[in-house]
Amino acid sequence: MSYLRKQLQATWQIYWELVRIVVPVAIVTEVLMVTGVVAAVAPWLAPLMDLYGLPPQLALALLAGWLIGVWNAAVMLFVLVPPSALSVADVTVFSALVLFAHALPIEQQIIRRAGPALLPTTALRLAGGLLYAAGLHAVFKATGWLARPVAPTWQPMGESTGWTGFFMALGEALAMMFLILTALVWLLEALKAWGLMAWLQRGLAPVLRLAGIRGEALQLTAIGMLLGISYGGGLLIREARAGHIGRRQVLLSCIFMGFAHSLIEDTLIMVSLGADAVAILVGRLLFAIAATALVAAVLARVPERQVAPSQG
């Protein structure tokens, strides 16, 4: 019972932090919708979204994702644009843009404290997401792949139906969010208890070696890849400060985690919204390997002492 209570408390703490962020964002978004601000701003954002074949209104959800997190982008998605107006390809491209770069103010500070400079690693994450999403859009447009209408299994918030309907939908979304978060927490605990998490980490070692990641950085990168930058990056900070991992490996680990992290939780969220799992999981992982390997090849020409001096 004490273990169960501890897990519920931990889940509630995470959930409450999300609620404190999601509720204000959802309300502000609804205000922007009903007052016509979204309709007025959308044309100015159209050029960015046009590059990816997306409705201009989704730029606001993308910005929320970049600045705050995946959950916020997910909540705003179908508030701004109804599912009937989106295809699986649209949601997949949008998901790619969010998954590469989200919660940047928080996550990039963690990476900075591990050693690598803030601006270059932030720019790499944004550039990687923009490039990968552009590639997906080009493939989808040329082939017609995933052109079918999206059919989300979870719709956090729907179209506006007045303030009463809005708050009812928000309450339902928050309840479902708690259930999903609880399920994810217990899934991760089960994977750890059954030894599957350690098995996954060992299985990922050959993949990470392809990206140029070696030695002590392997396990920490695998943790961040599976669970998120807060976990992997936090451990990386400790090991880097202790001098157990070289600067080059710290930088490569942070770059790789920036491209591909929290593969379990974030991927499940976006797939539940209707995104294609192969594109946002397998494709993103392959891109992360190739891009990090390219950076590793460049860094191989740079002396260790000149790589990513500690930022404290």
Residues 155-202 pLDDT 10s:
876 655 577 877 887 787 788 778 877 776 777 678 778 887 678 778
Nearest to 39 by CA among 23, 59, 22, 18: 59
Model confidence band, residue 304 (pLDDT cutoffs 50, 70, 90) = low
Q: Does the pLDDT at position 309 exceed 60? A: no
Q: How far apart are CA 276 and CA 281, in angstroms?
A: 8
pLDDT per residue over 24-55, tens digit each? 877 887 787 678 776 787 678 788 899 999 99
Name the helix (H) or strand (E) containing 177.
helix 162-193
Give mean pLDDT, residues 125-147.
Answer: 97
Which residue, among 179, 219, 198, 197, has the nearest Cα to 264 in the 3D structure? 197
> What percent helix, strand, coil does the chain show, rounded to 5?
75, 0, 25
Convert 27-91 into a string of H (helix), E (strand) and C (coil). HHHHHHHHCCHHHHHHHHHHHHHHCCCCCCCHHHHHHHHHHCCHHHHHHHHHHHCCHHHCEHHHH
Q: Indicate if the alpha-carbon torsion angle 236, 237, 239, 241 is positive or negative.
A: positive
Mean pLDDT (whole number) for 201-213: 87
* Tens digit of each residue's pLDDT (9 = 90 or more) over 51-107: 999 999 898 889 888 887 888 889 889 888 999 999 999 999 999 999 999 988 878
Q: Which amino acid, residue 117?
A: A
Residue 125, pLDDT above cutoff 80:
yes
Instruction: Give the mean pLDDT of the chain.
Output: 85
